[in-house]
Amino acid sequence: MGWRGWPWRRPLYWLQRLLHRHAALGPLFVLILSSVVFEVLRPGFLRLVNISLMLQQLAVLGCLAVGQTMIMLTAGIDLAVGAMMILSQMIMGELAINAGVNSVLALVIGVVFGGLMGLMNGGLIARVRLPPFIVTLGTLGIFTAIGLRLSGGATLFFGGSALAGSAISSSSNALLWTGTTLSVGSFTVTTGVLVMVGLYVLFAYVLAWTAWGRHVYAVGDDVEAARLAGVRVRSLITSVYVVAGVIYGLAAWVQIGRVGSVSPDISSTLNLDSITAVVIGGTSLFGGRGVMMGTLFGALIVQVFDTGLELVGVNALYLPLAEGVLVICAVALDHWIRAIRD
Amino acid sequence: MSGTAEVPSSGGEQGRAQPVLSARDIWKSYGRVAALRGVDIDVYRGEVLGLVGDNGAGKSTLIKCLTGAEYPDSGSIFLEGREVVFHGPLAARQAGIEVVHQTLGVAPQLDITSNLYLGRELRRKGVLGAWARMLDVPTMRRRAAEEVKGLGIATIQDIGQAVETLSGGQRQAVAVARAAAFGSKVLVMDEPTAALGVREAGQVHRLIASLRDRGMPIILISHNMPALWELADRVQILRLGRVVGVLAPDSSTMEEAVALMTGARVAPGS
Ligand SMILES: Nc1ncnc2c1ncn2[C@@H]1O[C@H](COP(=O)(O)OP(=O)(O)O)[C@@H](O)[C@H]1O
Ligand SMILES: [Mg+2]
Q: What is the pLDDT of residue A323?
A: 87
Tens-digit pLDDT profile for residues A123-139: 999 999 999 999 999 99
Give CA–CA dist A144/A123, Å, rounded: 19
* Portion 94-153 of B in contact with A at CB < 8 A: 99, 101, 103-110, 114-115, 118-121, 123, 132-135, 137
Give CA–CA dist A315/B243, Å, rounded: 77
Give CA–CA dist B254/A325, Å, rounded: 62
Q: What is the pLDDT of residue A267?
A: 64
Q: What phi and psi values does residue A238 have, to the nearest 5 degrees?
A: -60, -45
CB proximity A289 to B under 8 Å:
yes
Give CA–CA dist B112/B121, Å, rounded: 13
A266 half-sphere exposure, CB direction, 13 A CA radius: 25
Q: What phi and psi values does residue B135 have, to the nearest 5 degrees?
A: -75, 150
The length of chain B, given as a count of residues: 270
Structural domain includes residue B144: yes
Give CA–CA dist B153/B210, Å, rounded: 11
Q: What is the pLDDT of residue A161?
A: 42
Q: Mind telling me how many Å the CA of A51 is from chain B's nearest CA?
A: 32
Q: What is the largest CA-CA distance in chain B?
A: 66
CB proximity A210 to B under 8 Å:
yes
Range list of β-strands (E), B54-151: 74-79, 82-84, 97-100
Q: Judge contact between A316 and A309, C-beta under 8 A.
A: yes
Structural domain includes residue B263: no
Q: What is the pLDDT of residue A164?
A: 42
Tens-digit pLDDT profile for residues A284-319: 999 999 999 999 999 999 999 999 998 988 887 888
Q: What is the pLDDT of residue B16?
A: 55
Q: What is the pLDDT of residue A337?
A: 83
Are A231 and B165 inside 8 Å of each other by CB?
no
Residues of chain B with pLDDT under 70: 1-16, 103-104, 152-155, 183, 267-270
Q: Mind telling me how many Å the CA of A341 is from chain B's nearest CA?
A: 5
Spacing, Cα A42 to ligand 2 middle (Å): 66
The pTM of the full predicted model, rounded to 2 decimals, is 0.85
Give CA–CA dist B206/B263, Å, rounded: 32
* Position in ligand 1 atom list of the atom nearest CA B238: 22
Mutate to test the interface with B, among A14, A210, A214 (most CBs of B within 10 A): A214
Are B135 and A212 inside 8 Å of each other by CB?
no
B50 half-sphere exposure, CB direction, 13 A CA radius: 26
Point out the residue among A215, A228, A288 whose CB comes nearest to the CB of B109: A288
Question: ipTM of the assembly?
Answer: 0.80
Spacing, Cα A170 to ligand 1 middle (Å): 68
Calculate the alpha carbon distances from B37 to A15, B26, B261 in Å.
57, 7, 16
CB proximity A338 to B under 8 Å:
yes
Atom 16 of ligand 1, residue of closest alpha carbon? B58
Q: Counting one residue from A and one from B, how many pairs have CB atoms under 8 Å apart?
A: 81
Domain extent at residue B155? 105-178
Q: Judge contact between A100 and A79, C-beta under 8 A.
A: no
Structural domain includes residue B32: no
Q: DSSP for A63-80?
A: HHHHHHHHHHHTT---TT
Structural domain includes residue B240: no
Split into its structural domains, chain B has a count of 1
Are B103 and A288 inside 8 Å of each other by CB?
no
List CB contacts of B170: < 8 A, sequence separation 6 or more: B153, B155, B156, B200, B203
CB proximity A209 to B under 8 Å:
yes
Point out the residue among B89, B162, B166 whose CB comes nearest to the CB of A20: B162
Are B133 and A231 inside 8 Å of each other by CB?
no
Spacing, Cα B56 to ligand 1 middle (Å): 5
Fold exhibited by the domain A23-341: ABC transporter involved in vitamin B12 uptake, BtuC (1.10.3470)
Spacing, Cα B156 to ligand 2 middle (Å): 29
Residue of B nearest to A233 (CA): B119
Which residues sit with Cβ closer than 5 angstroms to ligand 2, an ion?
B 60
Residues of chain A with pLDDT under 70: 1-6, 159-172, 266-267, 340-342
Give, rounded to a whole angstrom, the gap between the first and last alpha carbons of chain A.
17
Q: What is the pLDDT of residue B3?
A: 44
